[in-house]
Amino acid sequence: MLECFLLKRKLYDCLDNSLSEKDRMRIKKHLDVCPHCQERLTQLKVILDYASSKHIPSPNNQFWYTFNAGLARRLDTIVSESGTMTQKPKVYRKPALVNAVLCVFFLAIGIFLFKFSHPTGMPLGRQVNVLVEEFTSSDEFSEASELNHEDDYLEEMDLLMQLELA
Amino acid sequence: MEPELSLSDEWVLIAKVKEGRRSSFDTLVSLYQHRGLSIAYTMVGNVEDAQDVLQEAFVKVYISINDFKGKAKFGTWFYRIVVNCALDFLRRRKRSAKVFIDIMADKDEGGIFPEAIDVSTEPRRVSSSREFVYKLDESIATLSRMQRSCFILRHQNRLAIQEIAKVLKCSPSTVKVHLFRAVWRLRKHLLHYFR
């Protein structure tokens, strides 16, 4: 029974002529003593014989004339719709796909930076405004400090002139 | 049935088709139409649908001939297109069970096709060989896509296992497994005819 199980697969190979000589001998030996496997082999052989003798049509010239006319019509339609097939511009899909993916990636990063909170706890858009304000105010401050320096300078000059006159 | 053209001649022909020469394409069609019809017919089960499938396959060949780089033989590439067209057709129409009934109708009508080949190995225990053939076709239709494709290409179109593997884009051992399962499944379906 174990031999039957082991040889089950080999039965098909036996009919398909894809067995080694050693396996063929082994199966032959087994088949001589096992009517059950003999019956199985006959059944498989019948199935394969019937399948391989299936009626395949060999149509006449009239069939092929109609077939070729139909095919030519379809091809003419395709050619007239899309121009000459050989001159069709070649579209390289892979680079286009990579570029599209990169665009989406950078767009996503951009949206993320502008939409979601910055590590400092302030949206970047708002932070820019704050920075500009700070910058302006610091500029005004420096201007003011410059003016203060000028006043000091003038005061100093006045003092020197007074000393000279004295 | 096999195209009688050397590989180099075939390459010249394909190069001309790539240049857009319709006459060369017509030659290519005449070389492969018989084998293509045979595969399409065994897949879909009737001549009218096989004709549509084959036309569709040739249109696809014409459109995508520039994609054929010659890594495999043209025949293998073409058979793959025919098988895919046939499987698409079967999926679209969902009538794989019905089409096998039409085979018998085709035979009865006689029509433009010659008579069916007589089955020489008539089994003693099979009560009616005609009914058995019908049931066999019906059982083949119930197989999975891969099992059916492997079985039809191997046992009804006599393609080598290596070539089937290339057509179905799988390994030869996978083809063997599908064939084995297909045959045993068919036996299971038809077991009561042997009793």
A56: nearest CB among B42, B140, B179:
B42
Does one domain contain both B2 and B85? Answer: yes
Mutate to test the interface with A, among B14, B16, B29 (most CBs of A within 10 A): B29
- Per-residue pLDDT band at B73 (split at 50, 70, 90): confident
A67 and B54 in contact by Cβ < 8 A?
Answer: yes
A12 and B151 in contact by Cβ < 8 A?
Answer: no
pLDDT confidence of residue B114: 36
With respect to residue A60, please indicate whether it lies within any of the assigned structural domains: no
Please check whether residue B162 is in contact with residue B172, taking contact to mean a CB–CB distance below 8 angstroms: yes
Neighbours of A27 (CB within 10 A): 20
Reported ipTM: the value is: 0.75
Whether residue A50 is predicted with pLDDT greater than 80 in this model: the reply is yes
Please check whether residue B83 is in contact with residue B149, taking contact to mean a CB–CB distance below 8 angstroms: yes
Q: What's the mean pLDDT in B67-90?
A: 90
CA distance, residue A47 to nearest chain B CA (Å) = 7
B136 and A51 in contact by Cβ < 8 A?
Answer: yes
For residue B19, what is the DSSP state?
T
Note whether B142 contacts A: Cβ–Cβ < 8 A: no
With respect to residue A31, please indicate whether it lies within any of the assigned structural domains: yes
Does one domain contain both B25 and B82? Answer: yes
Give Cα A93 distance to the centre of its chain. Answer: 10
Domain carrying residue B50: 1-94
**CA–CA distances in Å: residue B31 to residues A31, B3, B4, B55, B159:** 45, 5, 8, 14, 17
Dump pLDDT digits (tens) for A51-62: 888 777 788 888
Distance CA B83, CA B152 (A): 10
Domain carrying residue A100: 96-166
Does one domain contain both B25 and B83? Answer: yes
Does one domain contain both B187 and B128? Answer: yes
Q: Which positions ≥6 away from B179 have C-beta within 8 Å? A: A12, A16, B147, B150, B151, B154, B161
Dump pLDDT digits (tens) for B155-194: 988 899 999 999 999 999 999 999 999 999 999 999 888 7
Whether residue B37 is predicted with pLDDT greater than 70 in this model: the reply is yes
For residue B113, what is the DSSP state?
S
Q: To the nearest whole number, what is the mean pLDDT of chain B?
A: 81
Does one domain contain both B36 and B122? Answer: no
CATH code of the domain in which B53 resides? 1.10.1740.10
Burial of residue B16, with CB atoms counted within 10 A of its CB: 0-12 exposed, 13-18 middle, 19 or more buried? middle
Neighbours of B74 (CB within 10 A): 22
* pTM of the full structure: 0.65
B187 and A40 in contact by Cβ < 8 A?
Answer: yes
Q: Where are the alpha helices (DSSP H) in chain A?
A: 2-15, 21-33, 35-52, 61-82, 93-115, 124-165
Q: What's the mean pLDDT in A84-94?
A: 57
A64: nearest CB among B18, B33, B121:
B33
Classify A91 as helix, strand or coil: coil
CATH code of the domain in which B130 resides? 1.10.10.10
A51 and B179 in contact by Cβ < 8 A?
Answer: no
- Amino acid letter, A149: H
Q: What's the mean pLDDT in A58-80?
A: 88
Does one domain contain both B65 and B126? Answer: no
Instruction: Please tell me the total count of domains within chain B.
Output: 2
Whether residue B111 is predicted with pLDDT greater than 60 in this model: the reply is no
A85 and B151 in contact by Cβ < 8 A?
Answer: no
With respect to residue A155, please indicate whether it lies within any of the assigned structural domains: yes
Which residues face B177 on adjacent strands?
Answer: none
Please check whether residue A49 is in contact with residue B121, taking contact to mean a CB–CB distance below 8 angstroms: yes
Q: To the nearest whole number, what is the mean pLDDT of chain A?
A: 78
pLDDT confidence of residue A90: 57
With respect to residue A91, please indicate whether it lies within any of the assigned structural domains: no
With respect to residue A7, please indicate whether it lies within any of the assigned structural domains: yes
Does one domain contain both B121 and B86? Answer: no
CA distance, residue A70 to nearest chain B CA (Å) = 8
Whether residue A124 is predicted with pLDDT greater than 60 in this model: the reply is no
For residue B192, what is the DSSP state?
G
With respect to residue B78, please indicate whether it lies within any of the assigned structural domains: yes
Structure tokens at A19: 């067995």
Whether residue A120 is predicted with pLDDT greater than 90 in this model: the reply is no
Of the listed ranges A65-69, B117-121, B144-148, the one predicted with least confidence: B117-121
B41 and A12 in contact by Cβ < 8 A?
Answer: no
CA distance, residue B31 to nearest chain A CA (Å) = 12
Q: What's the mean pLDDT in A66-89?
A: 77
A68 and B29 in contact by Cβ < 8 A?
Answer: yes
Q: Where are the alpha helices (DSSP H) in B127-171?
A: 129-142, 145-151, 161-167
Does one domain contain both B89 and B2? Answer: yes
Instruction: Please tell me the total count of domains within chain A.
Output: 2
Whether residue A92 is predicted with pLDDT greater than 70 in this model: the reply is no
Does one domain contain both B7 and B90? Answer: yes
- Do you know the residue count of chain A? 166
CA distance, residue B94 to nearest chain A CA (Å) = 23
